[in-house]
A and B are shown apart, each in its own frame.
Chain A
């Protein structure tokens, strides 16, 4: 069990790093969503169902959607 928890932490660290090093914000919306999912898995592993529920709704759907819409708006002005 503890090994699985450690793997969860390692996954979160790797995904967080991937989000930061994704250069283009439109691709970042996708990696951010995957990062949100990895945080959700970690919260489930460390017995935090309330936090996982909060994270899955916010981190995998709402925030990436807002990022995508913001990118679309900002790009639309440049054309």
Chain B
């Protein structure tokens, strides 16, 4: 198909979708209006289970089964990408060449920010049921934080302080822990992923039942998953070369 023909076909498709979309958008309740039936059900349910952050309560309690599906997609994508990016038989990993020296101010700032970022990441995971945040966001913050090592130090520092096998295991454990918590809900309270722990006092660190635990499991999985992914991309871009 030529580019021209492709654009014509696309134009026809787009005008169709455009018309249907505008017709559909006309039927959506007015932007900014007060008609939110799901909200009216979800907020009292979250408050009843001592979870101030309603979004976390939704993800890890009311819609926990759906989140299990989401994190399975995440696990599958990470495994798939890691498999695709593995060096093939016709490639070899170059030894890490001596890198250009970076500004000492950058190094200092990077090393100063590293513990701060990791702490923020942990805080975002641990308080996910109380304040904005949770396992998904905190996990990504933790994973990006670790890569400050690359900015501050060098690629070799990052490689030395990043035992990839362990992150692979941690990722699987995180995903497994989610499923185990689900099954324990089935055993203890008769339903998969039922919030079976005591809800505690509103606003406490140990409250909202299983929500913080599931947050932790997802945080572990997301952080390790993103680290494994970035490791494969960095290796491909920096050290893996075709054997001539």
Q: Which of A10-18, A19-27, A31-39, A64-72 contacts B (4 or more CB under 8 A)?
A: A64-72
**Which of A52, A66, A70, A72 has the most chain B CB within a 10 Å cutoff?**
A66
A33 to chain B, nearest CB (A): 13
Classify the secondary structure of A's interface with B. helix
* Known pairs A2-B32, A57-B140, A58-B140; A50 contacts B55 (CB<8 A): yes
Contact between B137 and A53, CB atoms less than 8 A apart:
yes
Asked if A77 CB lies within 8 Å of chain B CBs, one says yes
Contact between A50 and B236, CB atoms less than 8 A apart:
no
Contact between B230 and A50, CB atoms less than 8 A apart:
no
Contacts of A50 in B (CB 8 A): 53, 55-56, 132-134, 137
Chain B interface category by residue count:
20 to 34
A53-B127 Cα distance, complex, nearest whole Å: 13
Contact between B237 and A54, CB atoms less than 8 A apart:
no
A5-B31 Cα distance, complex, nearest whole Å: 11
> Which residue of the partner chain, among A5, A54, A70, A76, contacts B137 with CB atoms under 8 Å?
A54
A77-B242 Cα distance, complex, nearest whole Å: 9
Contacts of A52 in B (CB 8 A): 132
Per-residue A-contact encoding for B149-191, CB less than 8 Å = 1, 0 else: 0000000000000000000000000000000000000000000
Asked if B217 CB lies within 8 Å of chain A CBs, one says no
* Known pairs A50-B132, A50-B133; A72 contacts B237 (CB<8 A): yes
Classify the secondary structure of B's interface with A. helix
Asked if B199 CB lies within 8 Å of chain A CBs, one says no
A2-B236 Cα distance, complex, nearest whole Å: 46
Contact between A62 and B226, CB atoms less than 8 A apart:
yes
Asked if A78 CB lies within 8 Å of chain B CBs, one says no
Asked if A61 CB lies within 8 Å of chain B CBs, one says yes
Asked if B76 CB lies within 8 Å of chain A CBs, one says no
A76-B229 Cα distance, complex, nearest whole Å: 20
Contact between B32 and A76, CB atoms less than 8 A apart:
no
Contact between A66 and B236, CB atoms less than 8 A apart:
no
Chain A residues packing against B (C-beta within 8 Å): 2, 5, 49-54, 57-58, 61-62, 65-66, 69-70, 72-73, 76-77
Chain B residues packing against A (C-beta within 8 Å): 32, 53, 55-56, 124, 132-134, 136-137, 140-141, 143-144, 147, 226, 229-230, 233-234, 236-237, 242
Given contacts A50-B53, A69-B236, 19 further A-B contacts (CB under 8 A): A2-B32, A49-B132, A50-B55, A50-B56, A50-B133, A50-B134, A51-B55, A53-B124, A53-B137, A57-B140, A61-B144, A62-B140, A66-B229, A66-B233, A69-B233, A70-B237, A73-B233, A73-B236, A76-B237
9 A-B contacts, Cβ less than 8 Å apart?
A5-B32, A50-B53, A54-B136, A57-B137, A62-B143, A62-B226, A69-B233, A70-B233, A73-B233
